[in-house]
Structures are given as structure tokens and as C-alpha cells.
Amino acid sequence: QVQLVQSGAELKKPGASVKVSCKASGYIFIDSYLHWVRQAPGQGLEWMGWINPDSGGTNYAQKFQGRVTMTTDTSISTAYMELSRLRSNDTAVYYCVRDVEVLDFWGQGTLVTVSS
Amino acid sequence: DIQMTQSPSTLSASVGDRVAITCRASQSITNYLAWYQQKPGKAPNLLIYEASSLDSGVPSRFSGSGSGTEFTLTISSLQPDDFATYYCQQYNSYPWTFGQGTKVEIK
């Protein structure tokens, strides 16, 4: 069965960077784009962008341009999302999500807390 | 960016009720509309895609309708497991955007 297993919770200081991983199994990794979506505490869902694991091509939401980097390591079927210059309002649960023309399967989420 | 507006924000209902949630897009998204259910502390779960297609394993009491700018998620007979927050999302154009969510509460 499809699984997206994300790395554990992170606590970061303002100005730092965080890198969240997402290990895929149960399907052919390079066959589907992977998106990243975040959710601040008690808030709604916010799309951040996608990566094509086959080509490495990316498409980032303008809001995150210059601060986010999405990569993959196809040898271990793992995607990464790195967010830099963190600020307190980046505190959120970050999800990786498989795209089969719709966001059909979500990772369990990774809580990133930004606090001094 | 396409704005997605859901109504109501909160809905109080009883088991067995028929409930409907509306989602409006700020411009036409044809039928590129998905609905998700989210329970506290869990990731969202896909219910419906292409406005009206039920994802695999989703109970038939859930249905979706609409096209263009106005869409509806209907639960024909609310069950205890359905008390959750529901989000619509457009995937017609980037950036993909979500509605603000509708919380379905026990009356």
C-alpha cells in the first residue's frame, strides 16, 4: 500500500533553516509529482509547491520563492523540503502529498516550531 | 490567485441529517475541484475529485456536484465518523488553493 513517512518534529530558532524528509513506498516514486502543503496551528491548508521526482523540476508558490527548496533522492525514494530564514509564522505542520492529477495520498505531517 | 470560499464555516447537525457544504471559486475552475476530510491531529483524506468523482473506499453517502464556480459537498445521512473539518481545493491553475474549511459539529 502507498505510504509517505515523514521525518520527526523540529524546533528551530528564527532565521534558521529546516529540512523535512518524506520517504515514499508502495508505488513507483518517479511516476508521481510530490507536493508540499502546510497548516499553521488551528488554520487552513496552504499549498507550497511541487517537485517532479523524475526530472527534478519544481514549481513553487510565489510566496515561498527564494526561501523553499524541494529536492528528491530517487535512489531511496525520498523527497525533501527545505525552508530557510524561518520566522515565527512558519510554525506549522508540513505535509508531503502524492499527486495523481489530484492530491490523493498525504504523509502524516511534520510539526515545525519556530521559537526563540 | 483563485480564491476559494466555503460556507458555512461551522455546521451543527445530528446523526442522520442531510448536510451540504458550498464552495465558490473566484473564477471558473471547470471541474478541477477536490474535497478533503480532516480529523484533529490527522492528515487530510481525499473524498472527491473532479467535482463529483468519489475516491476509492469513500462511502456512497458522500457526493459532490457543481462546475465552473459553484460546488457542493453533500452527506446524505450524517454518521458519527463524519464529524470533522472539510476543505475544498482547486487544481485548475497554480497556485493551488484551498477553502478555509467547514467544521461539522455535533448538534
* Average pLDDT of the segment spanning A64-91: 98
Q: What is the pLDDT of residue B80?
A: 95
- The count of C-alpha atoms lying within 13 angstroms of the C-alpha of A56, restricted to the half-sphere facing its C-beta, is 4
Q: What is the mean pLDDT of residues A67-74?
A: 98
Query: Is-contact A64 A47, C-beta < 8 A?
Result: no
Name every residue whose Cβ is closer than 8 Å to that of residue A52 and which is 6 or more positions away in sequence: A33, A58
- Tens of pLDDT along A28-51? 999 999 999 999 999 999 999 999
Nearest of A84, A78, A81 to residue A35 by alpha carbon: A81
Indicate the residue of B43, B50, B94 with minimum beta-carbon distance to A59: B94
Give SS3 for B96: coil
Strand partners, B97: B90
Q: Which of B43, B96, B98 sits opposite A44 (nearest CB)?
A: B98
Quick one: closest CA in A to B31, which residue? Answer: A102
What mean pLDDT do residues B60-89 have? 97
Q: Which residues pair with B63 in a beta bridge?
A: B74
- Is B87–A45 a contact, with Cβ atoms under 8 angstroms apart? yes
- The closest CB to that of B91, out of A44, A102, A108, belongs to A102
Q: How confident is the model at residue A27 (pLDDT cuts 50, 70, 90)?
A: very high
Contacts of B104 (CB under 8 A, 6+ apart): B11, B13, B19, B21, B75, B78, B82, B83, B84, B85, B86
Average pLDDT over residues B26-44: 98
> Contact A107/A22 with Cβ under 8 angstroms?
yes
Nearest CA in chain B to A35: B96
Confidence class of residue B65 from pLDDT cuts 50, 70 and 90?
Answer: very high
Q: Are A20 and A94 in contact (CB under 8 A)?
A: yes
| Cβ–Cβ below 8 Å for B44 and A45 | yes
Does residue A52 carry a pLDDT above 90? Answer: yes
Note the pLDDT of residue B99.
98
How far is A82 from B73, CA to CA, in rounded Å? 35
Report the SS3 class of residue B13: strand
What is residue B107's predicted lDDT score, i.e. its pLDDT? 87
Q: How high is the pLDDT of residue A85?
A: 98
Contact A106 B43 (CB under 8 A): yes
Under 8 Å between Cβ of A80 and A21: yes
Q: How many CB atoms lie within 10 A of CB A73?
A: 13
Q: What is the pLDDT of residue A101?
A: 87
B52 burial via Cβ count (<10 Å: 0-12, 13-18, 19+):
middle
Report the chain B residue with the minimal C-alpha distance to residue A6.
B43
Across the range B6-35, mean pLDDT stands at 97
User: Closest Cα of chain B to A104: distance in Å?
Assistant: 6
pLDDT over 90 percentage in chain B = 98
| pLDDT mean over B27-36 | 98
